[in-house]
Chains A and B, each alone.
Chain A
Amino acid sequence: MSAITETSDHGHGHHPGLHHQYEDMAQQTESYIVGMWVFLTTEIMFFGALFFIYTLYRWNYQLDFYIAHEHLDWKLGAFNTTVLLFSSFTMVMAVQSAQLKKRIAVMNYLGVTVLCAITFLVVKYFEYSSKFADHLYPGVNFATDAKAAFGEHAFEAGKLAVNMNHAQLFYGLYFCMTGLHAIHIIVGIGIIIALIRLWFNKANSVIHDYVPTEMVGLYWHFVDLVWIFLFPLFYLMPKPH
């Protein structure tokens, strides 16, 4: 019944962003947000499996993982963490502007978020390049020049002190986990650009209701959330002592 009345009485107290299958905006908003969290739950399980594998092998091969991790530059990692945290802030400001119906501000904040995401990927590109240069990707030619890859402290009395299989496992996990995360960043860039386009075109789906913008925000914060754990686990490994 509400569907019939809604279509026939515009401007009669009905929110223009309300879809006909919902009672009111509160119900619609809750459905949207809960739906997004259901998706994020599957993402938690998706990344969770990788974190589990990491935990298991890190526990077993602590020393080898430590030596292998020294090729990573924590300064770049910290820079990228800051960039992502800041992009989460600009994202949340975009949502706030959407609530206040400040269209230009929304587009500006989303634009800055995209720029942060691209900065993150550029840094990641340089990090990956340095790994490729030293053959630190899993495969038959893994770390053919171990001295160049891991430095002097990978050697004890001239003999290699790191088990290459375990080091390879570390870089397998590194590329899987940061790579999957980077794919999420790339997808995020696409979604945010699509959202900017909707705002630019004053699409009904976004200008009357802030929740679609909020849902993109939830996705983006989740990507940030994963990185919050990846950063200490890969870049800040404590020295075995």
Chain B
Amino acid sequence: MASNSSSHTHEHHIVSTGTYLLTLGALVVLMGLTVAIAQVNLPAIGILSGTVVNQLVALLIATIKALLVICVFMGVKWGTTLTKLWVIAGFVTLPLLFGILGDYCTRKYEQQPGWEKIEDGALPRISYENPAKPPADSSELNVKIRQ
């Protein structure tokens, strides 16, 4: 039996139309702002190049928009604590996933026998250079043919 505190009013929070309209306005303005900022080249800050700064600003604006949608439109602002917990848990999965980037950044590319890296990518070279001519030996392929 849960706490019977709320004296059994089924009154749920009804948000005014004005709040929703204001949120919509803010979202559209923020969208315009992203488009405007994408047209200018922002300066580099410290170790971050201008491109990265531009992209980070665009993502920051997208995050603000996302927060507006989650808090107001999805009603999480007026939701119960358990709801809020699940919302946060849902988004915690993202930083965990993006943690894998740390592996890509720091791990040295290790050559595996038969899977040596070449410049042009993973497809066999014949498909680009001379499709008609079959490879004379395995050195013309990106990967070594297994014996």
Contact surface of A with B, Cβ cutoff 8 Å: 13, 15, 23-27, 29-30, 33-34, 37-38, 40-41, 44-45, 48-49, 51-52, 55-56, 62, 74, 78, 81-82, 85-86, 88-89, 91-93, 96, 99-100, 140, 165, 210, 214, 217-218, 221-222, 224-225, 228-229, 231-233, 236-241
Contacts and interface: CB of A to CB of B under 8 A. Distances in A.
B100 A52 contact: yes
B59 interface: yes
A86 to B, nearest CB: 7
A78 B34 CA distance: 10
Contacts of B51: 62, 238-241
Interface in B47-73: 49-51, 54-55, 58-59, 61-62, 65-66, 69-70, 72-73
A45 B93 contact: yes
B115 interface: no
Secondary structure call for the B interface: helix
30 contacts: A13-B8, A15-B10, A24-B8, A30-B80, A33-B79, A34-B86, A37-B86, A37-B87, A37-B90, A44-B90, A45-B97, A51-B94, A52-B100, A55-B101, A74-B35, A82-B28, A85-B27, A85-B28, A96-B17, A140-B127, A165-B120, A165-B123, A218-B74, A221-B69, A231-B34, A232-B38, A236-B34, A236-B35, A238-B42, A238-B50
Nearest to A37: B86
A238 B89 CA distance: 31
Contact of A55 (B6, B15, B50, B98): B98
A34 B59 CA distance: 27
Contact of B69 (A37, A88, A231): A88
Interface of B: 1-2, 6, 8, 10, 12, 14-15, 17, 20-21, 23-24, 27-28, 31, 34-35, 38, 41-42, 49-51, 54-55, 58-59, 61-62, 65-66, 69-70, 72-75, 79-80, 82-83, 86-87, 89-91, 93-94, 97-98, 100-101, 104, 120-121, 123, 127
B12 A93 contact: no
Contacts of B69: 88, 221, 224-225, 228
Contacts of A225: 66, 69-70
Contacts of A37: 83, 86-87, 90
A92 B20 contact: yes
Nearest to A44: B90
